[in-house]
Structures are given as C-alpha cells and as structure tokens.
Structure 1
Amino acid sequence: MRCCYLFDSGASTVKILAVVGQTVILPCRKQVREENVLHVEWKKDNDTAFVYKDGCEAFGDKSDAFLYRTQLILQELKDGNMSLRLSDVRAVRCRDLDVQQEPDPGRLHGAASEPTLDVVPGKGVTLQCEAACWVPKPDVTFLDAQGNIIDAEASKYHQDTRSRCYNVTRRATVQAGNYFTCRVNQSEINQTKTVKIHVPDNCTIPRTVAIIAAVIMFLIGIGIVYQWRNSGESITLFLFIKRVCFHLQIRKFIQICVEMCSFYII
C-alpha cells in the first residue's frame, strides 16, 4: 500500500505495507501554524473518504463506501498530522485543500485468499495449487512431508484488469503415500498461507480395480446368459443389463472403488 503525504508546496510518496481488510494508519503531514484553519480531504479515486474543514469533520461529504471506516487523530491536527485511520483498507489518497498540487493516488497491497490444493485426474498423481486474487504477485511452492521443496511446473499468472489482483495456478507431479503442502508467499509484506493434502498409496491402484471389475462383470454376464438359455427365456439387451446391474449392485460397487482412493461421488 502506498500513501502520499504533503510538505508545504511539495508532494512525496511513502509506501505502507498492510493486509487488505485490516486497519491501518495512512500518514499525511504538513507544517502548519496552530492558528491556521485546516482543510483536509482524503479520497479514493472519485470517492471522498474523509473531509475535515472549519474545525470539524464534514460527515455529509463522505462517500457511503467510507461511512464508519475513517477518522483523523484530531488532537494532533494542530501539529500538522493529518494521518487517516482506515478500516478495511483499500486504495486512497490524501489532499490538502489549501494546496493546489495533488499527489498521485496510492495503492494498497496485501489481498490474499485461502489457497486450494487438489489432485488432477489423469495418469500419475498430479497436484494443482490455486490462489485467487492475491496482491502483490505471490510465489507458489510445493513441499513434501519433510519440508523439502518439490520440483514443479512454472506458475501460471492471470491479472484481473479491474481489481489488479493476481490469480495463480501451479502443478507438481508427486509420488503417492505422503503428505504434501502448497505454500503461497508474498515476501514483500511477509505474508504466507499454506494448504495440505494427503495422497494415500491406494490412489495408484484404480486401474487394477477397473480390470478386476471388468472381469467380474464379464463372468456374471456369461452366467446370466447361460441361465437364460437353460430356462428357455427370450434374451433382450434391456433385460440383460437390468439383471447385470441387479447382481452387481453397480452403484454401491462404484462407491466402494472410489472410496478406496479416498474420494467421494458428489
């Protein structure tokens, strides 16, 4: 997060690091005399975050988006301290109404959602870690149970044109039978979030289960056909499938196979 503050006729920029959604003090200071009447305005783009004039806050001039979120340190105004206490931080800028020069708008850094870690369907065991809407641009790292870094594909970033936050995705191929961690880190503001997943050994056997299931279905099918021929019944495809499903209780059988891989049918 960057906020500007003024010194007389000049303007400077100071960088403030904070997490979006928390409370922060945005510095803004100007050398003034105690008898001078201050006119201070804080803005975000075209929205007014706070206005102080004629010795008090101009509450009616504040945009609805900033109601009950902003305040000045009133006892320090006489010393030129126009710093703003801002809750649920976003991007704002400071402007002294007595000075015509207006600084560039600042930015807030520190947006971070909870990352997700899932197994990607397909050959082998591939993990995919995703982090949505992070600012600044984060780094994604895979770790094994011992905390060692795992080789992974290059991270894929997409920056939203409106919010300017980053969505990142990264994949890594691992061996089953272990715990794995995805770590998303913003070194600039020293913020880290992690998510863990357990990949059991039996996640490597679905192909064997499918082969066994196919053999069992084939044998049961042969048995049903043989039974029909001996009974003299006419054989139709519909009746054949119906009886196969009845004998296998196919839905329950599939659920059992899936649960062996620690997943659930939704």
Structure 2
Amino acid sequence: MTATAPAMSEARLYQQLRAHLGYLKLNDAADALPRVLDIARAEGLSLTAALERLLDIEVAATEARKLAGRLRFACLPEPWTISDFDFSAQPGVDEKLVRDLATLRFLDDAANVLFVGPPGVGKTMLSVGLARAAADAGHRVYFTTAADLAARCHKAALEGRWATCMRFFAGPRLLVIDELGYLPLPGDGASALFQVINQRYLKSSTILSTNVGIADWASAFGDATVAAAMLDRLLHRAAVVGIDGPSYRLRAHQRHADTLRAAAAARAA
C-alpha cells in the first residue's frame, strides 16, 4: 500500500495539472503535456526546462491563431510573399528598394508605397508580399481594390454609415489599395479615395498600385484639385517604385505552357 501511494499521488497531480491547464484555456499545452513529460524524463530535463518547453508550445499555437485571424481580416487575394517574386524575371523592379521595404521600416514612419507601371509587371504580387510580411510581423493589414473601396464608400454614404466606413479604412496599420486606374471610379469615387488617404495621412501606411503615371492623375480621375491633394498626401512620405519591364504575368504563363508542352512531348515519345 505504501508503494502504490506515491504513484496514486503522481496520477492525481498529473490530472490536476491537466485540469489547471484546461481551466486557464491553455489547451495546446494540456494536449502536449504527456509528450513533454516523456521528453523531460527521457532527456533528464530540469523542471524549468520542461515548463519552458510546455509553455513554448502554447505560445506558438497562440501566435499561429492570431496570425490566422490577421490573415482572414486582411483579405489578401493570394498567399504570396516577397520570396515568391522572381526578380530576375522582372528587371524593371528595383530589388534593393523592395528588399528594404520588406524590412517594414516604412511602417514606423507612416510612409506610403506606390507601385506604378503597366498591367502584368508584378505590382499586385509585390503589394501582397509586403502586406503578408506586415501581417506576419503582427500588424493589422487590409487589402482592397480601388473600385471596391469606392463602391463601399458610396454605399456607406447612401446608408448613413460614412463615419463608420472612414473609421474602418483608417484602422489598419497597412492598407493596400490595388488596381487604381484599371476601372473607372463612380462619380464620387475620387473624393472617397482622397478622404480615406486623408484619414490615414501621417498616421498609418498605404500601399497603392496603379497603371496611371503620376503626371496623368489629374486627367485620369477627372478632378485636378482632388488628384493634386491626394498626391500631396501620398507622396509626402513615400517610396515610389516605378516598374517598366516585360509582363511578369505573361512570362509566368509562358513558362507554364512550356512545361505542359514538354510534358506532353515526353508522353508522346
């Protein structure tokens, strides 16, 4: 009876420990407890080392859940990262500048990034890559197209939710506005875009991609005053990345087509 008492006590302690972890909602640590105890016994870990390993599992799981939540909110169209971008395929991109932007130092200055160039050169992919880096670093990020932003603001104005809409777009540490100039904005679209940028001015960062050269904004948006005011705020603290090169997208399609043709030829042979 004396020999079994310590074992029973150990079993009770184990169950109490799991219950404590569950009560504190440290569920991943509770699930990992048997494994960590086995490792601690096999490797002769100290109590401090075993506890650190157990809590490290919980912290990693918590961070993964937080990242998943940030990515759901961000609405990124693709899971691209900067490492996915083939700089050798797009010589029109200033790789050194993009690598510097990927450090996210521009967020500390509430600076903006403008990707300017014709369709297909990689503007959206680079914008998403920087946005993903920001989300990975713990920042709140949101991605939208210029047309969707304008439509959302227009609907909010009609429904009496203008202030709420402005607060939403002012909130993220990084806002990505894609495809400016690809589709015509509604009548008040340029004004809505300006007000979003004005809300964020000197407070948080915006990435904007456009196929419209800066010199052509006044004519493209039909209001020289609004265009000038928008550019004044965007460019006050900004990195402008002009991309003048071959279509990155078409080159990727060509590589894919070549791969399929080679595979078909190999099967035929």
Q: Name the one with the larger strand percent.
A: 1
- With the shorter chain as reference, the TM-score category is under 0.3
Higher helix share: 2
Give the structure, 1 or 2, with the largest relative contact order (CA under 8 Å, sep 6 or more). 2
Q: Normalising to structure 1: TM-score of the pair?
A: 0.23
